[in-house]
Amino acid sequence: MSVDTSPEPRPEARPQSSLSTAAARNLATTTKSAPQMQEITSRWLLRMLPWVEVAGGTYRVNRRLTYTVGDGRIDFVQDGAQVRVIPRELGELSLLRGFDDEEVLTALAERCVQRDFQAGEVLVERGTPADRIHLIAHGRIDQISVGAYGDETVTAVFADGARFGQEALLDSHATWEYTAVARSSGTLLTLSREEFAAVLAGSSALQSHVQEFRALPEQRQNRQGEAEIALSAGHEGEAELPGAFVDYELKPREYELSIAQTVLKVHTRVADLYNQPMNQTEQQLRLTIEALRERQEFELINNREFGLLHNAAFNQRIQSHSGPPTPDDLDELLCRRRGSKFFFAHPRTIAAIGREFNARGLYPDHVDVGGQQVPAWRGVPILPCNKIPITKENTSSILVMRTGADNQGVVGLNQTGLPDEYEPGVSVRFMGIDEKAIISYLVTTYYSAAVLVPDALGVLENVQIARSSA
């Protein structure tokens, strides 16, 4: 039996009876969009900051005189498993603030003893003698005290660069007023009172410095450490009134405007021949300025000189109590300052906040900000800012701030009225045409940010934003 394997006949091609759409497009007008740019974000920080005009290029923040007693973080050097404190970093201790004898600081650093700890380990116990200071190189430690009703409460969380127990170096009768329990594994260095006393006995310079430090509490200060204004209240008759004046810092901080610049180049042939229906130079400028604005917001967050993450006062930086950003952590941020206006967090951090709310059966409020509904906690908007970094360990930070010069808050600094200003604060200067017929424009913006008083800005650090595996 034979099988017919010949191919089936193909249908005959029909002759085209009208103009094809492919050919018709050659005569049609194409509707085009303006050039799009994925880098553009909402830039809430730039929108919400009140901007102060800085005509002279420098902004000076005058404050009342404050007796600063070293609240900075301490840095360490790691050599494999060995950790050493940098001698100069001991100057961050209030006891050693301003002491610059390198030889003595080195002797103190060499007497620090390394201690590795594990999660759950009790490092100090309440009521026991305190005889050493602890410098935390890495890890998280809970400070636990007894509440008013006898229950144990976590009153503080220490992390990298922090320390506790400084009072033990000078007070031979000091006892621990709290228990310190390791939340994670880590490393710390300890300096005992005996080792400190040995170095102190051999250095007249350190002895003089310690005597000056002991005299500091005699200076009249308010709760914020500012020079106190002498007042009298509740008196009767012709009581002698105290004289008063408001003392100022002798060397107030000055913020110089930072700069972001680029040179935009456009070929004359492009500018002459291809400007319909859109002006090529204007579109190039629009996208370039968008990129400058994105970089401006990044610098306002991350710049080491004036960025908000690096300029938050150390006593305004707190650690999350359990890792994820809980409502309790946000409450602690709010309670440390008056008149908080905004939270700023990475979008992934905001998602983590939402998960914590959901886990507790809470639904955040929503408030209107610039015509948009945004989530809020205690009436304070939680705004996204993707310039806040996320570490490889999936941790990030949450900022909260009071804004405005009238509120002694956080302000942005800029200058308008620039030569060849294209839009407020951005100048576009024609630089000429080179021998290759390329037009060059210098695009410039100036900016900075200032924290007028320390409690205007707070940061919740080391927030765990990864989704739990449970």
Mind listing the pLDDT tens digit for each residue in 124-165?
A: 999 999 999 999 988 889 999 887 777 888 888 888 888 899
Band (pLDDT 50/70/90 cuts) for residue 11 is low
Residue 430 and residue 370 in contact, taking contact as beta carbons nearer than 8 Å: no
Number of Cβ within 10 Å of residue 101's Cβ equals 15
Q: Over 50: is that where the pLDDT of 70 sits? A: no
Residue 163 and residue 93 in contact, taking contact as beta carbons nearer than 8 Å: yes
Q: Over 90: is that where the pLDDT of 351 sits? A: yes
The beta-strand segments (E) located in 94-242 are 113-117, 122-124, 132-138, 141-146, 152-158, 163-164, 179-182, 186-192
* 27 SS3 class: coil
> Positive or negative CA dihedral for 96, 97, 100, 106?
positive
Does residue 277 have a cis bond before it (omega within 30 degrees)? yes
For residue 355 the two structure tokens come to 């998960």
Could you give the dihedral angle defined by the CA atoms of residues 451, 453, 457 and 460, in that order, rounded to the nearest 10 degrees? 130
Contacts of 121 (CB under 8 A, 6+ apart): 181, 182
Number of Cβ within 10 Å of residue 143's Cβ equals 19
Tell me what the mean pLDDT of segment 437-464 comes to: 93
Residue 344 and residue 385 in contact, taking contact as beta carbons nearer than 8 Å: yes
Residue scoring higher pLDDT (412 or 216): 412
User: Residue for token digits 């190189």?
Assistant: 137
Give backbone dihedrals phi and psi of 107, rounded to 5 degrees, phi first: -65, -40
**C-alpha 188 chain-centroid distance:** 25
**C-alpha 122 chain-centroid distance:** 31
* 143 SS3 class: strand
Band (pLDDT 50/70/90 cuts) for residue 69 is very low
Residue scoring higher pLDDT (219 or 279): 279
Across the chain, mean pLDDT equals 86
Percent of the chain with pLDDT over 70: 86
In this predicted structure, which of 56-60, 66-70, 394-398, 449-453 has the lowest mean pLDDT?
66-70
In this predicted structure, which of 12-26, 34-48, 269-283 has the lowest mean pLDDT?
12-26
Q: Over 70: is that where the pLDDT of 470 sits? A: no
For residue 216 the two structure tokens come to 């500091």
115 sits in the region (left: phi over 0; alpha: psi -120 to 50; else beta) called: beta
